[in-house]
Structure 1
Amino acid sequence: MAVKYREIADSLEKDIREGIFDASNKLPTEEELAKQFEVSRSTVRKAVTQLVNRGYIYQVQGSGMFLRKKSETDYINLGSLRGLTKDLSAKTIETKILELRVIEAEEEVANRMQCEPGTKLYYTKRIRIVNEEPFSIELSYFKKDIVPYLNKDIAIQSIYTYLIDDLRLNIGFADKVINCELMDEETAFLLNLNAGDPGLIIENTVSLTNGSIFELSKSIFHYQKAKILDRVSFK
């Protein structure tokens, strides 16, 4: 079962995206939200922290919780664990599956995912197309004992929507490493670039709330199109 505060955060995020609070430009008070969702104020505070980290709101002590100004350009949000479909929701995203199969973890991947060599993993390789132009290539490994089923119908949509809404995984945190690499011929061809052009790389190691690593991924972005946003809150 999903964590309650995350369910509340997801519900409020949906309302924010749909413009429910645009007239007031602020969220209801903690007390009002606690009554609305029939939870404690501490649970509401955790949900609010999620929305702050996702970049939707900011808090002013004594005044309330206000919506952040919407950006005219979509960015890849480093603080988000919701996937590209959520980050670029204003754009048209198409996904093509290049590979999807069950493999056995080799030693390097097993070490990074803290599992035994030979552990069953789903391996996916996808190209993401944004507004009809190649945007990124995603290489992902998912532990099969945590993600027991994954097919092309799921992978062609949003894997993270499936993980959160259908499997109800309690996704806790991710370590993200950003670097640049020169592209090989195959990668450059898929992104409509030239071999040797730079690629913006984000590597993710994603864990459940109990600390268990379930995903290892590498996203290679078109260097001319990808922009990264990291929103920092000082408390």
Structure 2
Amino acid sequence: MEGNSSKRTAAPKRSKSTNEPLLNRESATALYMQIAERLRAEIDAGTFATDSKLPAESELTQRFDVSRVTVRQAIAQLLADGYVVSKQGKGTFVSRNKFVHDLKPMRGFYDALVAQGVEPKTKLLEFGPVTTPEPLRQAFGEDGGESDCFRLKRLYLVDGEPIALVVSYLPPQASGLTWEQVNRNPIYVLLENLLAMPVAKAQIRIRACSAGTSVGRALGLSPRAALLVMDRESFDGNGMLLERTSFHIRPENYEFTLSVQGPLPVGSSIKNVNGAASHDHAE
């Protein structure tokens, strides 16, 4: 009969345990990417709330009928995309919205967080005199003297989770500061209000590095975990160094932004791999 000869589009096969569409094993998209895309969509839809824990590897393995290796690749992709964070010994959790640090206005790390409606908490881990590192001796105006500079280490937390470890070096004049003063005030407040050392300018460098043992322990990360590091040097109006600080930041929830103004200078031609010059001057 004519009705029996018509073709029907086959419905996608579904998992017997969850009744959801199975992965397309004939697709050019790798299985781990399909899993990552599905989990990403569920996070965007609110199926997994911010700070909630993702299902264990064994559950995802059973749900998608794949190996643990494939599940781990999918989770690694979500980590790279900033959708989840890994907490050592606890599991994988949905990450919160990123903090966006605008580098154009000169302000401290604490104030940059507050400007985004965040209420960071801090924990002072160390404050006291240390032998001045050689690169800082002349910068702090010691001229080969024996004065110690002062080092402080401070942990920044948001919603109880560490997001940054800050290590600062202050000049010998910081000897008049107390633990309580340092515990209650950010670096720029210490300099401006308590030491009467106004900050006129700052130089900032941003790099990536692995956490290492001590920083990783403070942030709850493995020593090999990748970090964003913002190195800052602040100077007075005469060019004297007032502080040097390194901010070791968990990268999954943090990004930097900088707006620049034209006009755009047109540079020289660039060379392609084959050595030929390209006429596309600006990218």
TM-score by length of 1: 0.62
What is the aligned-residue identity percentage?
Answer: 18
Deviation digits for residues 80-128 of structure 1, max 9, x if unmatched? 4321221011211111111100123132332554643433211101111
Q: Structure 1 residue 185: deviation in Å?
A: 2.3
Q: Structure 1 residue 208: deviation in Å?
A: 0.5
Structure 2 matches for 1:1-235, cutoff 5 A?
A: 74-89=99-114, 90-111=117-138, 113=140, 115-117=142-144, 118-145=146-173, 147-157=174-184, 158-234=186-262
Shift in CA distance, 209/98, structure 1 to aligned 2, threshold 3 Å:
same
For 1:100, the aligned partner's letter is: F
Q: Answer with 105-114 or 89-98: which moved more.
A: 105-114
Asked if 2 retains the 8 angstrom alpha-carbon contact of 1:121 and 1:141, the reply is yes
Q: Structure 1 residue 136: deviation in Å?
A: 0.6
Q: Which aligned segments of 4 or more residues in structure 1 are displaced greater than 4 angstroms?
A: 111-114
2:28 counterpart residue number: none
For 2:121, the aligned partner's letter is: E
Shift in CA distance, 227/154, structure 1 to aligned 2, threshold 3 Å:
farther
Shift in CA distance, 174/219, structure 1 to aligned 2, threshold 3 Å:
same
In 2, Cα distance between the equivalents of 1:163 and 1:136? 21
Deviation digits for residues 187-220 of structure 1, max 9, x if unmatched? 1121122220111011111101111111111110
In 1, Cα distance between the equivalents of 2:257 and 2:223? 27
Q: Which has the larger radius of gyration?
A: 2
For 2:236, the aligned partner's letter is: L
Q: Answer with 184-193 or 149-158: which moved more.
A: 149-158
Shift in CA distance, 125/193, structure 1 to aligned 2, threshold 3 Å:
same
Shift in CA distance, 115/78, structure 1 to aligned 2, threshold 3 Å:
farther
Q: Which runs of 5+ in 2 are unaligned?
A: 1-96, 264-283
Q: Structure 1 residue 228: deviation in Å?
A: 1.0
Shift in CA distance, 152/225, structure 1 to aligned 2, threshold 3 Å:
farther
Q: Which runs of 5+ in 1 are unaligned?
A: 1-71
Higher strand fraction (1 or 2): 1
Asked if 1 retains the 8 angstrom alpha-carbon contact of 2:124 and 2:153, the reply is yes
For 1:184, the aligned partner's letter is: G
In 2, Cα distance between the equivalents of 1:114 and 1:166? 20
For 1:108, the aligned partner's letter is: P
In 1, Cα distance between the equivalents of 2:102 and 2:196? 22
